[in-house]
Structure 1
């Protein structure tokens, strides 16, 4: 029986280090000779333990020099749903790479009886000690132990690890297949009177404030919690006043469990998990999980993680307002759970069980449904629960992921109800939800999520994206097979957990704020977990030394899951993505709304008041701080709110400044926390003051205009119109007489604009297969191959007007446009009219709607351009469905720093709600662009087509120009790589559209 992970004072000898290793092509390994005590393994490879052999340098199966096998069929393999072996359970192919490990180690005299513990071996291990077979184990992410008859002095440990085993059929978990001894190996002394197991039961009564503690132990022992004055025998119940444990206030009471042969450390957190009237609660208050799914991953070591890396993950999560983790799809390293207890994260621990690949035979031999697999399935549950049962951070057990249905789940649930009724139980895939305390789905649309929140979802829970489903005869659709009316009634009363959503592959996800507005609106919705925390990429280099991030498509083998392994909120090296920035804003538990005369603050925390926070404010004018201070806010209990008047100093600063002015109010930590220093901002809100139009225009030395209208109102200046050879001069601007393009503005050479309708597809634009593959539609309808026609160029009433048509090859649809230029002081105003013409939808060839990703203008600027300064959202990239985490202000960045290094090149670096920007370079005039009132912009040293063609980041090279997009709009990013289609409100309407900008070279 597995034991609880514990830190005790009995001797522990780590067997981590350099082992001897030899890889063989079949399960026979190297034979039996390596078991001999005097076997000569000097010619074998050195292999670090813990590690994955496919990530280390050694002699490959195919022979040749020692090397890492990244990118080869002998190296790491990534699949999402497909098994990399034939679907022939429980049998294995003969070709089964097998690693024989050998370690010679010494044991001190008097070490005594011992247990040999392996933290994780992928996928199957057979173990011998001093020539004696100890046993074997499957369950790659699960610990296993053997009684270890070690002897004083020299010992020989041999382990045979098979890459594939019967256990492989239970581990199809959207991940890299990484064989090896990848977690710690330890020799545990077991003296007489040692504590082989213990179970901490620490309940909390939110009404009385009393905690109830009982610690069961495998031997006679005494429980000591000095801070609470507790000293009682194990097995005895004691009640005492305590502070409860929660993710916000992870209160742990340190103590010890003392037996005659061993003392074990205790870290007790009192908390009570209960579902009340369909609402998930902890300690009597509703919980809303602000969560992420987390695979274990490191770009060099795979699933072998050290404590510092785990701590880095948790610190990044806490700073991004993430308070919950689903350990997808297996239990993590035990140190991670200890850190969750200490730092404060709600945890859903998932059993090391997924059989997704049986979808390829219609689930005909799905293991959880077959009695012959029952022992293996139950073994995985028991080995998940028993080692981890004492962690207060774990509030939910998850039976499996994407393993369809079967009687095995009912047996798992029955065992859990008896062994640990203190936690809730989740299983998402069974539509009956008989064995789950939650109704749960993956990747619902916003509309369906709102229906679920209102208990108005379709019959059966997952049959429709909108409303009730009807059969062909017009009646109410039947329930899914095996689901009874009683099941349906129970399901409708369950809390809803969004176990996966917002697929964070590449640029995205979008709509995070939309999801969270819905989640906050309904008590039934107890939170959501983004897929997922980290990109699963590996550090690699090309043959000529260029570094790149390796993904599933870089592997020379089949099947492979392609780029799907890169779907994290942090890059593989744990650099936060713009998606994590947006999630932090969506997850804020302190709401701050700034109006003209007050700041409204809402405490949306689970159980903590705001005594730990300060509320700094500042007024910035044109990027400079004009005034600042601390807002006087009373301490707010959870659920409370207050409206605080804007401070007089802030009001004065806002009223006296005519430049771009912003009032920002934040909520910041008043003192250092374990996960962040004092001053760390956990939430913020802004109010933006638009300067009076007349004052702003006068300050800029130009005619007065109405900044709040879309169309510019500018008086032409006919005296500034002249013609030159091949060109037309209009005020400070010179145009090509044939194309109508602007070629010079003041002393600045430039080229453009052309109407731009295309962007390099994001991963979400590619959809999932052919589902929501709008990028495929763009390519089939030649949207990436636009040609431009100029029909007419006129100079009338001091204005230059160019008209024409932009259209793809082969197809009849296009955009008719007119660009009208008007001199305006030292600059020019450009008015654009664009009208979509032709059959853009339901064409005989496509029979599909064509979403236009961009509607804007593309300029070519001198390659010397280096820096962009702007007023708008920033500093990071923003899109119409992912901008609320970016503050409005004045920013300055190099053009190179505007690029987001997604490992798969794609559209990036856009900025919405830009009021003005300046592009500067040494020795040449600065280009200033002003919105009427706002625009989107991107600036890069390569075109969208270069970005589209690039496979790796090193494929992107400086074109010698800077390409500046000044756009009326760009469509949202969404999360359709796995999820619903891009919502309509984030698409660009194909209708006649007009907009204006002003340009000047200074």
Structure 2
């Protein structure tokens, strides 16, 4: 058994210094997090590697360390799956300095799954603790041997003896683990000490604290001092007295020159609270706090620091694939930074209380937190529940980031236990019930776009779905968000929403051969990010839609006056504190190289939250030689909010740059019964006489396997005739007519080897189409990559165009199945729909070739993504049969629970109608097969 020697020595040294004897001493028996662990002796009673004493790192979940049985929360319903009910037995020796005698020594567990029995030197430390996600402690002052080695024994039962705990936690819709997964430490306090220092610090500087002593043997004085984070004292002392025999008191005052806390300006302070007997300080506690005021106004909204708040948030599980719910500092930082990068200001801790360190980082980096007592779809009873509510509040009450308590999830509550929140929380934060309209807020989950009668936008109460747009594979999250958000913003009752969920919860299965990441079919949460926080396409969509700086719609061309209108959607920040810059870029067909032809840094305009302001850019001369204009906004802390891009030129203007002169060769024509071949120099193109489709293409490097098109996609058309000839200029013309769209398609092979296709414009009415355009075939196995100009670098769906900027991009071939290819998640995905095509160069094992579009707003299908194994809802939209398609319309994608039609106007199927004389846009494509 391992003993803590070094920490004990250090602790002893500290205790020899009188200043430290006034403070709470923390000595870790375990490691501090999942990266910094300590080996304890361990025996698992059942499952893998059971029945023998060995060692295990603490903190950890034992399944990830090779012990016990993996279970997903639904497994209890399936009699064919073994439900692991093993215990983990832990032993650990630790030294207690002699100097601690006479002090209070607590052993503290920050999280243990789930029923936990603790013994010190063979004697019970206290009653069994039930509930997996909570901090609990025992006073072991009378059980430890001072100046000697002590034995800690812990029995952790993966399942609880209390059935309400099992229903709330162990039969939930998430992975079920066992073990001591958060730190264990000794808390050493003076004999008389403050056992609770609850703080309520308001945005106006009003300060009050509820102080609880463990005992009272004299008259005492309580003093509070405020410091900035550099250690400079910035206020007068606040003082109060407490008489002998009393163990509770309040201390209050008004502090000046306070900067309030918010996610935009996460100002923090240290408050030092001292317990004094006469002039002697006998205990001292320092709490890091922020001054902020939380209020839920009936039939109005959430107000924080006097400003109405819209929560832009996401649900977050405490999870990492290799360590389960035992997390590291870097795990927490990564998640918070990614949320902030998406312009989120809030997080819901689903479906349990998070690590204390996570909340500390939310305080310092700036996120509103909805802190949740567990209960997935069943709640705790009135025996265990009140204890866990109390433990939640006592651990997390002083975090300024925690602005709301959630009491369970989707039926996972016992209304009788709510009174504990009001009893213990001196800040009187709102208590919500995720998916209910209750306590003044409507949190209904997964609303359809036009929900509801008498609720949400048509209701009488502030509303925010605490679960919104359930992600699965590439669906949900960003898809549909713009419609929802812009619609909700029209209501003064809009209070925000929380997307489901941050990251894919695919766990490493140490019980299976090889490296297997398991999401329990499609049951485990499927997020905006992969399990190792790989960014999916919706990441950037959310970032743009939730940017606190919004740019009003604008057309940018070479006659643009340089004026942008910026809308300030911050809550607490003036745009004068932000930064703005622009770039104008020239591109080259077939190349990812860009030339910056102009740039500038702009003077930030004054605009308070809610205001719109004009910002003038001096770029008119530069735009005369540019293809793209980019505009970037950064927040006051130097972080990018978003970079917008606009094309300066139309596709036909860009296509005109194609070298149409070059060497010209006389075209020869070769015919047989089935086909006609046109040859221009090194380019040889063969067409089917019957269908007009490409049969073969060759250049001086050999065959190019593009074939089988143009074929109408999304329209039932039959070929009615084909013709071919040389025109007066000596170019080869091949014409195709049909009885539907496109009524006419014309190939033209120029004498310089460039091939052009024009498919006539939409004329007839079409309704309820997923896609419409023309398709070709190309063997996927011959494609190695693509360079293109258009929206990128991620694929798009009809209801997820935002976040995909127009630019020049490049990516290598991959076969990623979003939310499933956990062993090889390569983003951005290669295959799928791409928006606003200008040109695309397919890189192949044969000979690269480029397609250039003259048609505005044309979509490009690049192969068909493989269907996920466990499709649900609307998460696998249709694709044309061809490999490469050029389309006016593409489908939307749905969510796990909703088909696209339920997600708003952008998610509907396509409709088109025209009249004689309309000058719509035919599909015009150039094919450059010429070898470099």
Same fold (TM over 0.5): yes
Q: Render the CA deviation track for 1:336-372: whole Å, top value 9, x for unaligned.
A: 111111111111111122334xxxxxxxxxx56xxxx
Match of 2:519 in 1: 551
2:167 maps to which of 166, 169, 174: 169
| Counterpart mapping for 1:459-474 below 5 A | none
Match of 2:422 in 1: 416
Separation in 1 of the partners of 2:365 and 2:615?
32
Separation in 2 of the partners of 1:95 and 1:301?
18
Counterpart contact for 1:749–1:862, Cα < 8 Å: no
Counterpart contact for 1:127–1:158, Cα < 8 Å: yes
Match of 2:693 in 1: 741
Given the alignment of the two structures, is residue 246 of structure 1 paired with residue 254 of structure 2, yes or no? no
Match of 1:699 in 2: 657
1:266 maps to which of 270, 273, 287: 287
CA 1:751–1:792: 2 relative to 1, 3 Å: farther
Separation in 1 of the partners of 2:783 and 2:741?
31
Separation in 2 of the partners of 1:833 and 1:591?
35
Aligned-residue offset at 1:310:
0.6
Separation in 2 of the partners of 1:169 and 1:925?
59
Given the alignment of the two structures, is residue 633 of structure 1 paired with residue 591 of structure 2, yes or no? no
Separation in 2 of the partners of 1:727 and 1:541?
59
Counterpart contact for 1:666–1:683, Cα < 8 Å: yes
Counterpart contact for 1:351–1:384, Cα < 8 Å: yes
2:145 maps to which of 131, 141, 151: 151
Given the alignment of the two structures, is residue 14 of structure 1 paired with residue 8 of structure 2, yes or no? no
Counterpart contact for 1:617–1:666, Cα < 8 Å: yes
1:511 maps to which of 476, 480, 485: 480
Normalising by the residue count of structure 2, what TM-score does the alignment of the two structures yield?
A: 0.78
Match of 1:105 in 2: 94
Separation in 1 of the partners of 2:435 and 2:616?
50
Alignment length, in residue pairs? 806
Match of 2:35 in 1: none
Match of 1:116 in 2: 107
Q: Render the CA deviation track for 1:54-108: whole Å, top value 9, x for unaligned.
A: 11124x5xxxxxxxxxxxxx224243xx75589xxxxxx9973222222233323
SS of residue in 2 equivalent to 1:228: coil
Q: Render the CA deviation track for 1:294-346: whole Å, top value 9, x for unaligned.
A: 11000100000012211111111112111101111111001111111111111
Match of 1:350 in 2: 372
| Counterpart mapping for 1:333-412 below 5 A | 333-356=355-378, 373-403=381-411, 408-412=414-418
Given the alignment of the two structures, is residue 668 of structure 1 paired with residue 634 of structure 2, yes or no? yes
Which deviates more from structure 2 when the two are superposed, residues 278-287 or residues 914-923?
914-923
CA 1:863–1:692: 2 relative to 1, 3 Å: closer
Counterpart contact for 1:869–1:891, Cα < 8 Å: yes
1:911 maps to which of 830, 834, 838: 834
CA 1:95–1:615: 2 relative to 1, 3 Å: closer
Match of 2:536 in 1: 577
Q: Render the CA deviation track for 1:345-404: whole Å, top value 9, x for unaligned.
A: 111111122334xxxxxxxxxx56xxxx22222222212112111111111111111126
Match of 2:756 in 1: 828
Separation in 2 of the partners of 1:262 and 1:792?
94
Q: Render the CA deviation track for 1:85-132: whole Å, top value 9, x for unaligned.
A: 89xxxxxx9973222222233323223331111111112112222111
SS of residue in 1 equivalent to 2:444: strand
Separation in 1 of the partners of 2:615 and 2:421?
53
CA 1:834–1:204: 2 relative to 1, 3 Å: closer
| Counterpart mapping for 1:409-558 below 5 A | 409-413=415-419, 415-416=421-422, 419-430=425-436, 433=438, 436-448=439-451, 452=455, 454=457, 456-457=458-459, 492=460, 494-509=461-476, 510-540=479-509, 545=514, 547-552=515-520
Match of 1:51 in 2: 60
| Counterpart mapping for 1:567-716 below 5 A | 567-593=526-552, 594-595=554-555, 596-597=560-561, 598-622=563-587, 623-647=594-618, 650-654=619-623, 656-657=624-625, 661-669=627-635, 673=637, 678=638, 680-691=639-650, 693=652, 696=654, 698-702=656-660
Q: Render the CA deviation track for 1:234-274: whole Å, top value 9, x for unaligned.
A: 53311122111111111111231223443222212111112
SS of residue in 2 equivalent to 1:128: strand
CA 1:388–1:544: 2 relative to 1, 3 Å: closer
Counterpart contact for 2:655–2:852, Cα < 8 Å: no
Separation in 1 of the partners of 2:755 and 2:492?
55
Counterpart contact for 2:224–2:274, Cα < 8 Å: yes
Match of 1:926 in 2: 849
Counterpart contact for 1:102–1:159, Cα < 8 Å: yes
CA 1:982–1:440: 2 relative to 1, 3 Å: closer
Aligned-residue offset at 1:977:
3.7
SS of residue in 2 equivalent to 1:576: coil
Separation in 2 of the partners of 1:393 and 1:568?
23
SS of residue in 1 equivalent to 2:348: strand
SS of residue in 2 equivalent to 1:588: coil
SS of residue in 2 equivalent to 1:443: coil
Which deviates more from structure 2 when the two are superposed, residues 576-585 or residues 929-938?
929-938
CA 1:94–1:688: 2 relative to 1, 3 Å: closer
Q: Render the CA deviation track for 1:638-671: whole Å, top value 9, x for unaligned.
A: 2222112231xx11122x22x6x2222211246x
Aligned-residue offset at 1:690:
2.3
Aligned-residue offset at 1:214:
3.6
Match of 1:125 in 2: 116
Aligned-residue offset at 1:523:
2.2
Q: Render the CA deviation track for 1:732-780: whole Å, top value 9, x for unaligned.
A: 631245664313345152232358899xxxxxxxxxxxxxxxxxxxxxx
Counterpart contact for 1:569–1:576, Cα < 8 Å: yes
Aligned-residue offset at 1:628:
0.4
Aligned-residue offset at 1:51:
1.0
Tell me, which stretches of 5 or more residues in structure 2 are unaligned?
1-20, 31-37, 215-219, 228-232, 241-249, 276-280, 588-593, 727-732, 872-881, 915-921
Match of 1:986 in 2: 907
Given the alignment of the two structures, is residue 312 of structure 1 paired with residue 334 of structure 2, yes or no? yes
CA 1:976–1:379: 2 relative to 1, 3 Å: same
CA 1:977–1:448: 2 relative to 1, 3 Å: closer
CA 1:885–1:893: 2 relative to 1, 3 Å: same
Which deviates more from structure 2 when the two are superposed, residues 973-982 or residues 168-177?
973-982
Aligned-residue offset at 1:879:
1.8
Separation in 2 of the partners of 1:195 and 1:932?
73
Aligned-residue offset at 1:498:
1.6
SS of residue in 2 equivalent to 1:637: coil
Counterpart contact for 1:734–1:745, Cα < 8 Å: yes
CA 1:731–1:286: 2 relative to 1, 3 Å: farther
Counterpart contact for 1:619–1:625, Cα < 8 Å: yes
CA 1:830–1:724: 2 relative to 1, 3 Å: farther
Counterpart contact for 1:504–1:531, Cα < 8 Å: yes
CA 1:504–1:154: 2 relative to 1, 3 Å: same
SS of residue in 2 equivalent to 1:187: strand
1:285 maps to which of 285, 307, 324: 307
Aligned-residue offset at 1:829:
0.6
CA 1:272–1:698: 2 relative to 1, 3 Å: closer
Counterpart contact for 1:256–1:265, Cα < 8 Å: yes
Aligned-residue offset at 1:531:
0.5
Counterpart contact for 2:196–2:210, Cα < 8 Å: no
Counterpart contact for 1:501–1:529, Cα < 8 Å: yes
Which deviates more from structure 2 when the two are superposed, residues 900-909 or residues 283-292?
900-909
| Counterpart mapping for 1:969-984 below 5 A | 969-977=889-897, 981-983=902-904
Q: Render the CA deviation track for 1:496-538: whole Å, top value 9, x for unaligned.
A: 1221102222113211122221233222111110001111112
Aligned-residue offset at 1:636:
2.4
Separation in 2 of the partners of 1:383 and 1:75?
28
